């Protein structure tokens, strides 16, 4: 009886230790605001630029409408494909955390490159208010744009497939924790995501059209 009692007590102690270890392995609520902030910032910046990209390409780079539309389509297609690569890298190699770090770094580099190309006069053709016989962007200027868009798309591939699952990993997996916290998290996640999108397609587009593309990006 004593041996059986000791075995039960040891089993209970072991289960408690495992539970404590698992609790330490997850981040809990504390990292959630930072994870949400990363995703909201990405969605805010991407939506703001993507919504008004045709105007930027035709009015600032003086591209024909067909070429501008193809550029936007290629960007959307690439940004939609790269999450497959990002998810594979996260699951098979480095994990979600480092994939998000790498993706965010590449995305920031691409976005900064787009901002620089919009601000520096040498990286875009001369202004053409009349929109008649305008000088189109040179091969070098277009190369900077395409490289920037490619970097942005690659960065999105590391962020989008990993952020929400990485955030869910921070929530404890007991029944009580998943029922009380996961629904709250997903509610706030989609609320702030849609709020960022709304602000981007209203306020940010207004800044781009009426103030400056450098500030609007």
- Here the tokens at position 30 are 């504390």
Closest CA to 156 of 33, 28, 29, 49: 49
**For tokens 């103030």, what's the residue?**
211
Closest CA to 158 of 89, 92, 109: 89
> By the 8 A CB rule, do 37 and 167 touch?
no
Which pairs count as long-range contacts for 118-121, CB under 8 Å and 24+ apart, including other chains?
Answer: 118/56, 118/60, 118/213, 118/214, 118/217, 119/213, 119/214
Q: How far apart are CA 118 and CA 212, in angstroms?
A: 9
**CA Rg, the chain, in Å?**
24
- The per-residue pLDDT for range 178-210, each reduced to its tens digit, is 555 556 777 888 888 888 889 888 888 888 878
pTM score: 0.78
Domain boundaries, the chain: 31-216
> By the 8 A CB rule, do 117 and 141 touch?
yes
CATH number of 31-216: 1.20.1250.20
- The per-residue pLDDT for range 114-129, each reduced to its tens digit, is 888 888 888 888 877 7
> By the 8 A CB rule, do 116 and 38 touch?
no
> By the 8 A CB rule, do 48 and 216 touch?
yes
Average pLDDT of every residue of the chain: 80
CA distances to 56, 108, 205 from 48, in Å: 12, 15, 6
- The per-residue pLDDT for range 141-152, each reduced to its tens digit, is 899 999 999 999
Band of residue 24 on the pLDDT scale cut at 50, 70, 90: very low
Q: 152: which residues sit within 8 A by CB, 6+ positions away?
A: 46, 75, 79, 107, 110, 111, 114
């Amino acid at each position: 009886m004593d041996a059986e009692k000791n075995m039960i007590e040891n089993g209970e102690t072991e289960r408690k230790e495992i539970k404590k270890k698992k609790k330490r392995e997850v981040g809990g609520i504390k990292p959630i605001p930072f994870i949400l902030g990363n995703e909201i910032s990405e969605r805010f910046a991407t939506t703001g630029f993507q919504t008004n990209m045709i105007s930027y390409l035709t009015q600032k780079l003086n591209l024909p409408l067909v070429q501008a539309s193809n550029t936007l389509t290629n960007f959307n297609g690439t940004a939609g494909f790269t999450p497959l690569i990002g998810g594979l890298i996260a699951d098979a190699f480095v994990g979600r955390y480092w994939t998000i770090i790498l993706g965010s770094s590449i995305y920031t580099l691409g976005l900064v490159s787009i901002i620089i190309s919009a601000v520096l006069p040498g990286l875009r053709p001369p202004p053409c208010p009349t929109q008649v016989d305008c000088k189109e962007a040179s091969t070098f200027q277009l190369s900077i744009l395409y490289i920037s868009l490619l970097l942005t798309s690659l960065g999105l591939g590391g962020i989008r497939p990993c952020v929400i699952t990485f955030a869910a990993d921070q929530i404890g997996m007991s029944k009580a924790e998943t029922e009380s916290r996961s629904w709250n998290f997903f509610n706030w996640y989609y609320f702030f995501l849609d709020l960022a999108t709304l602000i981007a397609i209203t306020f940010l587009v207004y800044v781009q059209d009426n103030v400056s593309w450098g500030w609007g990006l």
